[in-house]
Amino acid sequence: MKSMKRARGFRLVLTGVALAGLAVVVPPASANAATAAYSDCPSGNVCFYTGTGGTGSRCNWSNADSDWASGAITCSWALTSPARSMYNHGTSTAFTAVAFYHGVNYTSYNGCMGQGWAGNIGPAYLRSHQWVTFAC
């Protein structure tokens, strides 16, 4: 009987260690909210970064842009570097997300991110984005 208790205790210890490891590896749902790495993104803008976690070079817009390379606001790295993270720091109640595309004029949909969310997205060579009302 004692050996059974030890075996159970041993399993519980291992399970506790495994769960403790998972707690470190699996971030809580709130970790998707903007963190300090994204703090340079102006309120009301969507920001795309060349590095993960909101690092590297940044391009940001307060409106849609149909061509990052030659639109009203140009992104200096759009043709040479992929986007690896983004932050939708939008504040408008008229929109729920930002959709981003590989092609100009909102073609070749790549994905979207809801308002207030930040995270890694790539690497993806992107050329346009727009504010949308659908859920990601």
The verdict on 64 and 76 lying in the same domain is yes
59-68 mean pLDDT: 97
The verdict on 76 and 11 lying in the same domain is no
The verdict on 82 and 22 lying in the same domain is no
4-33 mean pLDDT: 35
The verdict on 42 and 55 lying in the same domain is yes
d(CA 102, CA 38): 23
Which structural domain range is residue 105 located in? 33-132
- How deeply is 116 buried, as exposed, middle or buried, from its count of CB atoms within 10 A (0-12, 13-18, 19+)? middle
Q: What is the pTM of this model?
A: 0.73
The verdict on 94 and 107 lying in the same domain is yes
**Model pLDDT for residues 113-128, shown as the tens digit of each residue:** 999 999 999 899 999 9
